[in-house]
């Protein structure tokens, strides 16, 4: 409870104001608080953005810049497609991964897990700052 409300209640308790007046004052204070801190929900990001700026002079052509904007919806659609991969293909992929020294069981990776990952991707910001290159990954 803030100080002004407390004062209003104090005045009511002391009989300086009536209950109706106290109600009006509290309503007025609530209105002021709502104006002071509008509780608008934060807009959800729609795009994943990757920015790369390089000072490297590949081939003597000058600086390089990459700017990619991908809708997050596209990532979700891609994840839904993974549900269509037949189990025998996943088994084969697992075997090849194991042979390559990457013991990951792709059958344990469910679309809902990846969906959750994408849901929380909007809070991710990656900043790589090198003297000759900058990489920034974020959602907007």
Partner 1 sequence: MIPQLVTLRMNRPGGRRPLRLFIPVLPVLLILSPLLLLAVLAGAVACLIFRVSVFGALRGIGHLLSALRGTRIEIEQGHTAVLVSLR
| Segment near partner 1 (CB under 8 A); pick from 3-11, 36-44, 82-90, 94-102 | 82-90
String marking each residue 8-37 x if it binds partner 1 according to CB under 8 A = ------------------------------
Using rule CB under 8 A, residue 136 touches partner 1 = no
Interface with partner 1 includes 68 (CB under 8 A)? yes
Structure tokens belonging to residue 56:
């490297």
User: Which residues 93-132 are close enough to bind partner 1 by CB under 8 A?
Assistant: none
Among 89, 104, 117, 128, binds partner 1 (CB under 8 A): 89
Q: Which of these ranges, 17-25, 84-92, 95-103, 122-130, lies near partner 1 under the rule CB under 8 A?
A: 84-92
Q: Which two tokens stand for residue 16?
A: 């300086």
Q: Which long-range contacts (CB under 8 A, 24 or more apart) does 71-80 make?
A: 71/46, 71/47, 72/45, 72/46, 72/47, 72/48, 72/118, 72/121, 72/122, 72/139, 73/46, 75/48, 75/118, 75/121, 76/115, 76/118, 79/111, 79/114, 79/115, 79/118, 80/111
Q: Which residues bind partner 1 (CB under 8 A)?
A: 46-47, 57-59, 61-71, 73-74, 76-78, 80-81, 83-84, 86, 89
């Amino acid at each position: 409870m803030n100080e002004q409300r407390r004062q209003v209640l104090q005045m009511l308790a002391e009989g300086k104001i009536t209950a109706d007046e106290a109600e009006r004052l509290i309503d007025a204070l609530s209105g002021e608080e709502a104006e002071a801190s509008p509780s608008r929900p934060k807009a959800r990001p729609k795009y994943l953005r990757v920015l790369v700026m390089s000072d490297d002079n590949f081939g003597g052509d000058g600086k390089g810049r990459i700017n990619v904007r991908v809708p997050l919806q596209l990532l979700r659609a891609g994840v839904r497609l993974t549900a269509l991969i037949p189990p025998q293909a996943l088994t084969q992929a697992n075997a090849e991964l194991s042979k390559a020294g990457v013991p990951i069981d792709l059958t344990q990776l469910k679309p809902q897990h990846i969906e959750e990952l994408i849901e929380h991707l909007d809070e991710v910001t990656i900043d790589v700052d090198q003297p000759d290159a900058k990489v920034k990954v974020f959602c907007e």
